[in-house]
Structure 1
Amino acid sequence: MDVYLPIANLSVNALVIVALGGGVGLLSGMFGVGGGFLTTPLLIVYGIPPTVAAASAASQVTGASVSGVVTHWRRGGVDVKMGGVLVAGGVAGSLAGAWLFRLLQAQGQLDTTIAVIYVLLLGSIGGLMATEALGTILRDRRGAPPRARKRRHHPLVAALPFRTRFYTSGLYISPLAPLLLGFATGVLTVMLGIGGGFVLVPAMIYLLGMATAAVVGTSLFQILFVTAAATLIHATTTKAVDIVLAGLLLLGSVVGAQLGVRLAGRLRPEWLRLLLAAMVLVVGTRILLGLVWQPAELYSVELA
């Protein structure tokens, strides 16, 4: 069943887009990531222009996050104080990201920049996740005891002033650390159409030293508000949000997020991380090939 996307200016199979949204929503509920880090590149691979893919994916991530946040909130897994600081930084980062987005768009370098950043991010994050997951699986097979990891924040975080307590997260740190972290994810949200969760979640664990029980819910809480702000910014400035595309993605992602939350507690986390890492690396490799392969047609003419 084909539908026409008015902003992207092409027809797509609606069932494929809904299924893509459902898969990304599944990841959102399972890992606490917005899923945009896979939505945007998969849309690009499918043939959606990168500018429209990035802008529309942000609105899809908002819908997927709503569903996940509600479930984690009921379980007491959301640190509202920490999330509020992350949101404040994220909104500021969204404004900065919108300025950078328009600058690159005016210079005609936006599509290439988005693709290059995705290759670097997906390659590095996917490689680290795969290495950690494989190490855990091999240690289990050898019968070796799991490595004990002390929960502590990074020394640079400890050096920041104005410490305060985040009770749900079990932290006594400066709010400047989550504020800067939120700012960085806000820039990524606008530029790439991602929720930033695949950067935010490991940063909350390894840099801030947050309690694992509060990481996923708090990450989705931040993603919810920042992606909503990013969608509003795109709709009013870049005009690149395709409401039909976003609606199809949302239809699948809301259902997928609920399933993901339920599956997260039933499957072994190391195998889930390995599967996610494999998907991330495959998508990153496909985008890299798109950058370096010589196209069949070296030139194209597009009528305005």
Structure 2
Amino acid sequence: MDLYLPIAEMSVNALVIIGLGGLVGFLSGMFGVGGGFLTTPLLIFYGIPPAIAVASSATQVTGSSVSGAISYYRRGQVDVRMGLVLAAGGFIGSVIGSFIFRWLKSLGQVDITIGIVYVVFLGTVGGLMLKESIGTLLRQRAGQAPSGRTRRHHPLVAALPMRMRFPSSGIYISPLAPLLVGAFVGILTVIMGVGGGFIMVPAMLYILGMAAGSVVGTSLFQIVFVTAVATMLHASQSQTVDILLAALLLVGGVVGAQFGTRAAQKLPPERLRLFLALLVVAVAIRLAIGLTWTPAELFSIQTALS
């Protein structure tokens, strides 16, 4: 069943787009990563223009994250106070990111920038996650006790003033730390069309020192607000949100997120992290190939019939 996308100006198979949204929603609910890091590249691979893919995938991430966040909130695994501080930083970052996106678009460099940023961030984060996951599994097979990580925030965070308590996360830190983390993720959300969870989750664990039980739910909670703001900025400023494309992604994403949250409770966390790391690295490699591989046809000239 083919549908015409008015903003992307192309026809797509509706079932394929819904299935893609379902896959990303499943990963969103399972890992708390929003799923945009996968949606945008897959849309680009399918032939959607990068700028349209970024803006429309941010819309889809909002819907799938709502579904996942509600599931975690019902289980008491969302730190609302922390989530609101992160969301406030995300709002500031989204505004900054929108100016950067418009500037790149005016220069005609937004497509190549999106690809390079994806390769750098996904390659770095995926590589670090893969190293840690393999190390953990090897220690388990050798019968060694897992190397316990003392849960504490980064020394730089401890130096920040105006501390406040976040009881659900079990930490007492300055709100400036999550505000800055949220702002950084907000910039990435606008430029990359991601929820930022693949950076937010490690930052919450290793920089802010949050309790692991509240990390995924809180990540999804802040993603809802940040991606909603990013979507409105894209729609009002760059006009790159394709509503029909976003709706198809949402149909699959909302349903997939529910199955993802259930699967996360049944599968071993070590294997979940390994699977996510492999997925992130694979997407980075595929994007890098697309940026460097010489196309079969170097030039394409289209003429309009009068």
* 1:79 match: 79
Shift of 1:299: 2.0
Alignment of structure 1 residues 1-304 onto 2, 5 Å: 1-301=1-301
CA RMSD in angstroms comes to: 1.1
**Structure 1-normalised TM-score?**
0.98
Distance 1:302 1:44 in 2: 21
Q: Could you tell me which amino acid in structure 2 is paired with residue 288 of structure 1?
A: A
Cα offset for 1:297?
1.9
How big is the shift at 1:301? 3.7
User: Aligned partners of 1:128, 1:24: CA distance in 2, in Å?
Assistant: 22
Structure 2 letter corresponding to 1:156: L
Report the 3-state secondary structure (helix = DSSP H, G, I; strand = E; otherwise coil) of the residue aligned with 2:12.
strand
- Give the whole-Å Cα distance in 2 for the aligned partners of 1:37 and 1:203: 16
User: Secondary structure, in 3 states, of the residue corresponding to 1:12?
Assistant: strand
Three-state SS of the structure 2 residue aligned to 1:257 is: helix
Deviation (angstroms), 1:302: 5.7
AA partner of residue 223 (structure 1): I
Q: What whole-Å deviation, never above 9, does each CA across 1:49-105 have from its counterpart, x for those lacking one?
A: 000000000000000011011111111111111111111110110000000000000
Change (3 A) 1:109 1:75: same
Q: Deviations over 1:91-135 (max 9, x none)?
A: 110000000000000001100000000001111111111111111
The secondary structure found in structure 1 opposite 2:289 is helix
Alpha-carbon distance between aligned partners in 1 of 2:82 and 2:122, rounded to the nearest angstrom: 26
Q: State the 1:303 CA deviation.
A: 7.2
The letter of the residue matching 2:5 is: L
Report SS of the residue matched to 1:60: helix
Residue 184 of structure 1: how far off its partner (Å): 0.4
Unaligned runs of 5+ in 2: none
Gaps of 5+ in 1: none
Measure, in 1, the Cα distance between the counterparts of 2:209 and 2:255.
Answer: 31
After superposition, the Cα gap between the structure-2 partners of 1:245 and 1:176, relative to the gap in structure 1 and judged at 3 Å, is same
**Letter in structure 1 aligned against 2:50:** P
Shift in alpha-carbon separation, 1:232–1:145, aligned structure 2, 3 A: same
* Pairs aligned (count): 304
Bigger Cα displacement from structure 2, 217-226 vs 267-276: 267-276
* Identical positions, percent: 63
What letter is aligned with 2:190? V
What do the CA deviations read for 1:143-172 (whole angstroms, capped 9, x no partner)? Answer: 111111100000000000001111111110
3-state DSSP of counterpart to 1:147: coil
Q: CA deviation at 1:19?
A: 1.0
Deviation (angstroms), 1:3? 1.2
If the length of structure 2 is used for normalisation, what is the TM-score?
0.97
